[in-house]
Structure formats: C-alpha cells, structure tokens
Structure 1
Amino acid sequence: MSRQIDFRSVSPHSADEVYATMVDPDYLRARLERIGGPGAALLEHSADVQGARYRLRLGLDAKDLPSVVRSVLAGDVTIERNERWTRQDSGRYVGDVEVTIMNAPASATGGMRLRDLPDGGSELNVRADVRVSVPLIGGKIEGVVGEQVKRLLAAETAFTQVWLSENGR
C-alpha cells in the first residue's frame, strides 16, 4: 500500500528564476545547512538550462521523530533524495524524485512540475507516493511520513522565497 501526497506552492518569481535557484549548488548547500538535519550534504550535482540531476542526503534526529516512527526505526534517520529536472520550454519544467530512507522499509517516488502562471509568477506542484512496508502499522506510518514530507516541502519553499528575494537573479 502507499499514501499519495500533493504539494503546491506559488512564487512571485518566474519558473525560469525558480528553476535556476533550485538547481544552484550554492543554494542547495545553504538549504541543506539550514533545514537538512544532521549529516546533510549535496552528494552529486549537474545542471544547466536544459536540465539537472542531483542527489541530496538529509538527516532526522531520532528525538524529533513521532513515536510511531521511532517504534520501527532505531536511531537517527538518513534520507537520500534524487531529483531530476528537464526543461520543456521557457517557463516549464518537469521532474521526478526518488527518496530512500536508509536502513528502513520506507521510500517515496513522485513527479514535479514547475511552470509560469498566466498572470505572472510561477507554480510548483509535487505529487509523490510514500510506501512503508511494515505489517499492520505501515499505513499509519505512511500518513505520518507524508505529513513530514509536506512540512519539509513547505520549509524548502519558504527558504527558496527568501533566497530569491535576497539573491535575486
């Protein structure tokens, strides 16, 4: 079984500006330093105007995890996230994401879309399926993980907006 999550954010900045920021290695390192948790790092990176690929490591301190998750996972959690973006046209990008929670029966996969809005600004949509392979309580953990993913995406979006306003392209 899996749990689907949907996330949407809007920005006053164009999709081209948001894309250039989201795939910038300095931005990614700064974002990881601020909200990536213990051991966060940019592990791989390649990007240009046509597309990007990068792999991130994020960490979660065990004390910050909900009890239902701590009952299945021992200690801190390490997450690897692979993202790939492709430029479709000016102001339109599509991507996919794969998330692996190391040493845990949990993962997520999904798609992303970044596009200009007709009246200005841009919109980012993320749709992902969270899977937790634990009998009986897997569905409950999927719900908790899904909410954590939404919180992380919201924090990343807020960080991106601040970064764009301070480091405008």
Structure 2
Amino acid sequence: MARRIEHHTTSPHSAEKVFGAMTDETYLRDRLAAIGGTNSALISFDKTDERTSYQLKQGVPAEHLPSAVKAALGGDLVIQRTETWAAGAGTVEVAVNGVPGRLEGSFTVLDNGSGSKTTLTGEVKVSIPLLGGKLEKLIAEQVAVLLDKESEFTSEWLANRG
C-alpha cells in the first residue's frame, strides 16, 4: 500500500524568485554542496526556454539510518532524484538504492502574501513485505525534513543574491 505525502514550505521570496532558483544550475550545485550528503552530485542538467530537467544524487551515511533500514540496504542510502520544472510547477521522481519502490509527486510554487509557498504532493510506495509500510513512513518523514532544509537554504541563497 502506498503512502500519500503532502508537504508545504514557505519563503519570504516571490514564487518567481524561488522558481528561478529551483531551475538554476549554480543554485543546485550550491545546495548539493551544502546539504546534499555523502557523494552528492548533479548528474544531469538540461534547460530550454520552456522547461528545466535535472537528476541529482544524494547520500545518507548508514550510521544515520535506523537499524532495520541499514540491514535492508546493506550500506549507505543513495537517493536518485529527477525533477522537471516548467511554468512554476514541477514533477519529481525519487528512487532509493536497494529499495523496490519510489516516490512520485508534483511541486507547485505560488505567491503567498509577501512571499511564496511551495507544495509537494505525491506518493511513496515500497514493495517489501512486512517492511514496506515502515520504509514508506520513514521516506515520507525524511523527505519532509529534506524539503525544510532545502527551503531554508533557498531563502538564504536568494537573500545573499539581493
């Protein structure tokens, strides 16, 4: 059974500026360097007038994982994340090494008062008997933590650029 996820973050910056950051190669590299984890990398980046697509690799060392997850993975957690953005909205697909499952969802970035609000709506599905539900819950929780960190980083990154 899949687990729905909906997570909101806010920024003091306009939706246009946040969207601009989310589709900026320098921003992505800076974000990965600051909070991407073990062996993080921007695997691919493609930008046209209409759309931006990229793939990121992020890592979480095994010692930061719950024992059941550590045992299932047999090592570090490696996250492959693909995002496609166009006109203030995006899609995301996340796969995790050694886990038969994925997160799929969509982002919206909208003006909200004097700033903006970014929303991820999606679903986490892990197909492992007995452990799937626990891993889905863990992944959903960790995605929320990561999105909060990324939102903080984005606000600081934009503030430092005037």
- For Structure 1 versus Structure 2, the TM-score category normalised by the shorter chain is over 0.9
Counterpart-to-counterpart distance in 2, 1:61 and 1:54: 23
The residue number in structure 1 matching 2:133 is 139
Structure 2 counterpart of 1:106, from 101, 109, 112: 101
Q: CA RMSD in A?
A: 1.3
Counterpart-to-counterpart distance in 1, 2:12 and 2:103: 29
Asked if the contact 1:68–1:141 (Cα under 8 Å) also holds between the matched residues in 2, the reply is no
- 1:59-95 CA deviation, whole Å, 9 max, x = no partner? 11011111221131110121110001111xxxxx111
Asked if the contact 2:57–2:81 (Cα under 8 Å) also holds between the matched residues in 1, the reply is yes
Question: Which stretches of structure 1, 4 residues or more, deviate above 4 A after TM superposition?
Answer: none
The answer as to 2:118 corresponding to 1:124 is yes
Between 73-82 and 45-54, the greater mean CA deviation after superposition: 45-54
Structure 1: any 5+ residue segments left out of the alignment? 88-92
Deviation at 1:46, TM superposition (A): 2.0
Aligned-partner residue type, residue 111 of structure 1? S
Mapping of residues 1-169 of structure 1, within 5 Å: 1-48=1-48, 50-87=50-87, 93-117=88-112, 119-168=113-162
Percentage of identical aligned residues: 40
Question: SS at the partner of 1:141?
Answer: helix
- 1:96-127 CA deviation, whole Å, 9 max, x = no partner? 1001112322311001111122x332110001
Counterpart-to-counterpart distance in 1, 2:68 and 2:147: 21
Structure 2: any 5+ residue segments left out of the alignment? none
TM-score, normalised via structure 2 length: 0.94
